[in-house]
Amino acid sequence: MRLTVIGIGLIGGSLALTLKQKGFVDHVIGVDNNSLHQTQALELGIVDEIMTLEEAIASSDLIAITTPVNIAEILLPTILEKIDKQVVFDVGSTKESIVKIANAHSKKGRFVPTHPMWGTEFSGPEAAQQDAFKEKATVICNKEQIDQDALKLVEQVYEQLGMHILYMDATKHDIHVAYVSHISHITSFALANTVLEKEKESDAIFELASGGFESTVRLAKSNAAMWVPIFMQNKENVLDVLNEHISQLKKFKSCLEKENFDYLSDLIENANGIKRILK
């Protein structure tokens, strides 16, 4: 099977490496407008050759769109227009918007909207990892709109990656990821900016940083080119979660201002309930 990866970065590169290692695909074509990424992907053995988008579509059985979500939206109609029986899937963190775009096309059944729930703060081909997706979840949205052979092929892709599959409506997906992913990134960006501002006053602050701080701000290293489009596309859901988050922060602030340490203890103990979900 011939796979095209459009956008040879962390996700696309990891996907290609694992599918090649598993023998699920025997040839990987890379499409990327970054010449450095092209060179790195070839040198690292992530792809077997680089082609233009049009050449790659004609030469592929399976096409993975692994670009930032705003670029994926631009590319999808062009790709659908040029395919015959090829299967196309994306890996973006927002789904409602791209599903609407696909639904406007006559070949919408060849497109499988997916979101593998894995990533790191790093980007580019050099960040790609083999077997990175193992035992993680992936979401396939609006499966009733997908051609059965296309759905089956992409399900097989994620089975090869070692992921378990969840099926979800695109709108509900975007609500859920605002809570479990998008707000985490905003919080990390905000905390990093807070500490960087304070660091101007104290050179020692980073010398005191421990594992807890590092794990909390790890996501702040994430690429703006990827995350700004995500926040734009999922703005309403992110704002809803962000308003609740700000409300919770105000409760902690009020406890300290009023020295209401009993309520502060209640807030912390209530937060401990997350252990029921994250064991």
CA distance 223 to 163: 24
With a cut of 70, say whether residue 279 has pLDDT above it: no
**150 shares its domain with 14:** yes
**187 shares its domain with 204:** yes
CA distance 184 to 187: 5
The overall pTM is greater than 0.75: yes
87-90 and 62-65: which strand pairing? parallel
Torsion over CA of 24, 30, 31 and 33, rounded to 10 degrees? 150
What residue type is assigned to position 195 of the chain? V
164-168 and 137-141: which strand pairing? parallel
CA distance 181 to 201: 31
Between 224-233 and 69-82, two packed helices, what is the crossing angle to 10 degrees?
80
At CA 5, angle to CA 145 and CA 16, rounded to 5? Answer: 105
CA distance 134 to 267: 35
Under the banding of pLDDT at 50, 70 and 90, the label for residue 131 is: confident
91-116 pLDDT, tens digit each? 999 999 999 999 999 999 999 999 99
**69 shares its domain with 157:** yes
What is the predicted pLDDT for the residue at 205? Answer: 66
What residue type is assigned to position 100 of the chain? K
Query: Domain holding 232: CATH number?
Result: 1.10.3660.10
Under the banding of pLDDT at 50, 70 and 90, the label for residue 197 is: confident
214-252 pLDDT, tens digit each? 777 888 888 899 999 999 999 999 999 999 999 999 999
**132 shares its domain with 268:** no
With a cut of 80, say whether residue 207 has pLDDT above it: no
What is the predicted pLDDT for the residue at 236? Answer: 96
**36 shares its domain with 139:** yes
What is the predicted pLDDT for the residue at 123? Answer: 87
Per the structure block, which two tokens stand in for 77? 């109609």
Under the banding of pLDDT at 50, 70 and 90, the label for residue 275 is: confident
- Final residue of a structural domain among 115, 150, 169: 169
**98 shares its domain with 224:** no
175 contacts 96 by C-beta, under 8 angstroms: no
**43 shares its domain with 135:** yes
- Final residue of a structural domain among 134, 169, 204: 169
For 220, the domain range is: 173-276
**227 shares its domain with 184:** yes
36-95 pLDDT, tens digit each? 999 999 999 999 999 999 999 999 999 999 999 999 999 999 999 999 999 999 999 999
Strand order of the sheet with strand 49-50?
Answer: 49-50, 27-31, 2-6, 62-65, 87-90, 111-116, 137-141, 164-168
Per DSSP, 77 falls in state: H
Show Cβ contacts of residue 138 under 8 Å, excluding neighbours closer than 6 positions: 114, 115, 116, 117, 158, 161, 163, 164, 165, 166
Query: Domain holding 66: CATH number?
Result: 3.40.50.720
Per DSSP, 212 falls in state: H
Closest alpha carbon to 67 in 58, 80, 76:
76
- Final residue of a structural domain among 169, 193, 214: 169
Q: How many domains does the chain have?
A: 2
Per the structure block, which two tokens stand in for 12? 């696309």
Per DSSP, 163 falls in state: P
**Cβ count within 10 A of residue 14:** 25
60 contacts 1 by C-beta, under 8 angstroms: no
**33 shares its domain with 144:** yes
**43 shares its domain with 99:** yes
**37 shares its domain with 148:** yes
**78 shares its domain with 107:** yes
